[in-house]
C-alpha cells in the first residue's frame, strides 16, 4: 500500500526556488537533492516531500509539455498554520522572498484565516489556519 507521496514541480532555477521555500519556513532535505538539477523541500510535521526539478529534467519525466502557470492553474497546494499570526508571518516571508500574494491574509467563511501566494515559478499556494470549533455544522 502507498506510504508516502511526493509532489514534483518544475522550476526555472533550483537554487533560487530552494532559497525561496527555505526562507518561508520549509526544510531542505539534502538526501534527495542533486545540485542544480533538483532539490527536496519538506513541508509540515509529516515531512511531505516537494521535489523541485529543473524544467528540462521535469519534462523528461513527464514526457509531455510543461503547463504554463501564468495561463491557468491545475492545482492549488494548501498547508496549515498554527494560528493567524503564523499566516501573517508566512505572508510577509513570501513577499520578502520574492513571491506574490494573490490573496492577502483575511478571514474566510468565519472559521478560517488565510492567504494565498504565487511562488517564483508561478505555482499557487494557500496557507490556512482553521478554527474547527467555529466550523459550520451540516
Q: What is the pLDDT of residues 97-134, one digit of tens each?
A: 999 999 999 999 999 999 999 999 999 999 999 999 99
CA atoms of 119 and 94, how far apart (whole Å): 8
pLDDT digits (tens, 9 = 90+) for 49-94: 999 999 999 999 999 999 999 999 989 999 999 999 999 999 999 9
Whether 41 and 94 map to the same domain: the answer is no
CATH of the domain at 25: 3.10.180.10
What's the domain count of the chain? Answer: 2
The verdict on 2 and 56 lying in the same domain is yes
| Pairing status of strand 48-54 against strand 6-11 | parallel
CB contact set of 83 (below 8 Å; sequence gap of 6+): 129
Domain carrying residue 53: 1-61
Strands (E), the chain: 6-11, 27-34, 38-43, 48-54, 76-80, 100-108, 112-118, 124-130
Amino acid at each position: 500500500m502507498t506510504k508516502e507521496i511526493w509532489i514534483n514541480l518544475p522550476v526555472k532555477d533550483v537554487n533560487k526556488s530552494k532559497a525561496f521555500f527555505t526562507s518561508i519556513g520549509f526544510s531542505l532535505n539534502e538526501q534527495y537533492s542533486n545540485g542544480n538539477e533538483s532539490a527536496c523541500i519538506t513541508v509540515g510535521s509529516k515531512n511531505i516531500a516537494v521535489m523541485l526539478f529543473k524544467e528540462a529534467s521535469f519534462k523528461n519525466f513527464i514526457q509531455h509539455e510543461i503547463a504554463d502557470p501564468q495561463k491557468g492553474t491545475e492545482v492549488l497546494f494548501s498547508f496549515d498554520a498554527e494560528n493567524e499570526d503564523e499566516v501573517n508571518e508566512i505572508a510577509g516571508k513570501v513577499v520578502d522572498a520574492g513571491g506574490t500574494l494573490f490573496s492577502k491574509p483575511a478571514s474566510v467563511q468565519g472559521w478560517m484565516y488565510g492567504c494565498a501566494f504565487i511562488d517564483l515559478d508561478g505555482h499557487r499556494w494557500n496557507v490556512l489556519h482553521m478554527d474547527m470549533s467555529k466550523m459550520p455544522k451540516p
